[in-house]
Structure 1
Amino acid sequence: MDLGLKGYTIPLKHVFTISRESYTNQDTIIVSLAQNGKIGYGEATDNPYYGITVASMQEEINAIRPKIEAFDMDSPERFHAFLVNEGLSNFAICALDLAANDLYGKLQDKPLYEIWGTDTSRYPISNYTIGIDTIEKMVAKMKEVPWPIYKIKLGTDEDVRIVTELRQHTDAIFRVDANCAWSPEETIKNAPALKELGVEFIEQPLKADNWEGMELVAHNTVLPIIADESCILESDVEKCGMHFNGINIKLTKCGGLTPARRMIKQAKDLGLQVMVGCMTESTVGISAIAQLLPQLDYVDMDGAMLLAEEIATGVSMNPDGSVVFPTKPGSGISLL
């Protein structure tokens, strides 16, 4: 295979703030894998929380470039196992795995969801994320993009007030994500008011390793709790099954589509709800997520909508949240 790497710094439409950080641009790496005249594309974003940069991913991948280019793409699963054995970070593995899956689908001349035997006639609608800001600006951002489901980032001293004010301006479904900022007591206290305000679930209210606190919340909250930072790897799913109602799988954190598909099956076997989320990826990463849609209960794939510029074509969404799947095989991606 021929390997290509390119880093991008993509400006966001608005400053994006969660409980622990703010940013105005998204750094991301796009990987291309070419074989037999077909090109597959994958993506992974940088992430200060996990110590990942575009430069670090490029260094990792270039260190094994000869081995990658000598690999014959006959199976994304075999390629993923090879990457894990080489000791790459999950973020770097994700970019390569997404490219490998896209390439495999293009070599088979079929979309990935079709290769996996799933039907796109039914799928969950993505939420649209409202980052932390002044209440006035959060309302303005919501009005800017009328949408059927909003994820509201929280972790301030006035979280219930924020949701109360936003509710005055829409009948949409709400989900809230505290990104590890709450205590168990705060979560249990906030949940009834949030439920009254039409919140569907709370995502990762406590610090990722606060398992004792999460057990307390699990037995005392009136809203479902979805794991995010507590569920990174395949090995985390079983433990989350004892403390959460569902999990949010991020492709960049788990290492791509290949492990994500195994995590979905494992979670469903445990009776957990399954969500896949994004990390403000471009259409390259979002198109890969979309291939999983028929297998999911919830999805957060609005990353490309938050960007001021686009670098690829592929899956897109209509104003009502419905998905436009491209006619191209694989993940349907082409770079601009």
Structure 2
Amino acid sequence: MELTLKKYVLQLEFTFSISRESYDFQDSLIIALSQNGKTGYGEATSNPYYKITVESMMKEIEAIRSEIEAWSMEDPSEFHAFLKSKGLSNFAICALDLAANDLWGKLKGKPLYELWETDNSTYPRTNYTIGIDTVEKMVEKMQKKPWPLYKIKLGTDRDVEIVTELRKHSDAVFRIDANCAWTAEQALEYAPKLKELGVEFLEQPLKADDLEGYKKLIEGSALPVIADESCIVEEDVEKCAGYFHGINIKLTKCGGLTPALRMIKRARELDLKVMVGCMTESTVGISAIAQLIPQLDYVDMDGALLLKKDIATGVKINPDASVIFPEEAGSGVNLL
């Protein structure tokens, strides 16, 4: 295979804020793997919380370039196992794994969801994320992007007040993501009020290691609780059983589509709801997530919708949150 690496700086349409950071630009690594006239694309974004930069990922990958280029893409899972054996970060592995799966599908001439024997006639619709801001600016974002389902980022001293005000301007379903900012007592207090305001579930309200707090929530919360920061890799799925109602899988965190498929299977065995989320990424990463949606209960794949300008073609998301799957095989991605 031929390997190509390129850094992109993605500009967001609006400043994006969560409980621990704000940003207007997102660095992203795009990988291309080419074989027999076909090219597969993968993506992984930088992330200060996990101490990952595009430069650190490129350095990891360049160190084994010759070994990667010696591969012939016949089985993405075997390629993923090879990458794991080399000790790469999951973010770097994700970019390579997404490219490998896209290439594999293109070589086979079928979209990934077909190769995985799933039916895309029904699927959950993605939310659109509203970052922390003044109520006025959050309302402005909602008015500029009318959507049937919003994820609201919280983690302030006026969270219920914010949702109360936002509800006056939309009848959409709300999801709440506090990014570890609450205590168990706050979550138990807020949940009944938020449920009355049309909130569907709470995503990672407490710190990742607060298992005692999550035990209280699963026993007493008025709303379901979904793990995000508490569910990073495959081994975490088992640990979430009994503490969460479901899990949110991030491809960059777990290492790509290959482990995500195994995580979905294990979550089903444990009777956990399954969501796949995204980073602020382009249509390259979002199109990979789209191949999984027939298998999911919930999905957050609005990353490319948050950008001022995209860098690729692939899956398209309509204003009603329905999906137009690309005609091209694999993940269906091509760079602009």
TM bin (shorter chain): over 0.9
| 1:192-235 Cα shifts (integer Å, max 9, x gaps) | 00000000000000011111111111111110000000000100
Shift of 1:328: 0.2
Task: State how 1:75-114 maps to structure 2 within 5 Å.
Answer: 75-114=75-114
Residue equivalent to 1:288: 288
| Runs of 5+ unmatched residues, structure 1 | none
SS in structure 2 at match of 1:162 = helix
| 1:263-321 Cα shifts (integer Å, max 9, x gaps) | 00000111000000000110000000000010000000000000011100000111111
Task: State how 1:1-336 maps to structure 2 within 5 Å.
Answer: 1-336=1-336
SS in structure 2 at match of 1:187 = helix
| 1:158-181 Cα shifts (integer Å, max 9, x gaps) | 000000001001111000000000
| 1:10-44 Cα shifts (integer Å, max 9, x gaps) | 11001000000000001000000001110000000
Distance (Å, rounded) in 2 between the aligned partners of 1:258 and 1:324: 23
Distance (Å, rounded) in 2 between the aligned partners of 1:332 and 1:73: 17
SS in structure 1 at match of 2:219 = helix
SS in structure 2 at match of 1:91 = helix
Shift of 1:153: 0.1
After TM superposition, what 4+ stretches of structure 1 lie above 2 angstroms from structure 2? none
The aligned amino acid for 1:275 is: M
How does the TM-score come out when normalised to structure 2?
1.00
Distance (Å, rounded) in 2 between the aligned partners of 1:135 and 1:174: 15
| 1:141-167 Cα shifts (integer Å, max 9, x gaps) | 011111110000000010000000010
The aligned amino acid for 2:123 is: Y
Distance (Å, rounded) in 2 between the aligned partners of 1:126 and 1:146: 13
Distance (Å, rounded) in 1 between the aligned partners of 2:213 and 2:272: 19
Q: CA RMSD in A?
A: 0.4
| % identity of equivalent residues | 69
Distance (Å, rounded) in 1 between the aligned partners of 2:320 and 2:220: 35
Distance (Å, rounded) in 1 between the aligned partners of 2:170 and 2:137: 15
Question: Number of residues paired by the alignment?
Answer: 336
How does the TM-score come out when normalised to structure 1?
1.00
| 1:238-262 Cα shifts (integer Å, max 9, x gaps) | 1101100000000000000000000
Distance (Å, rounded) in 2 between the aligned partners of 1:241 and 1:261: 18
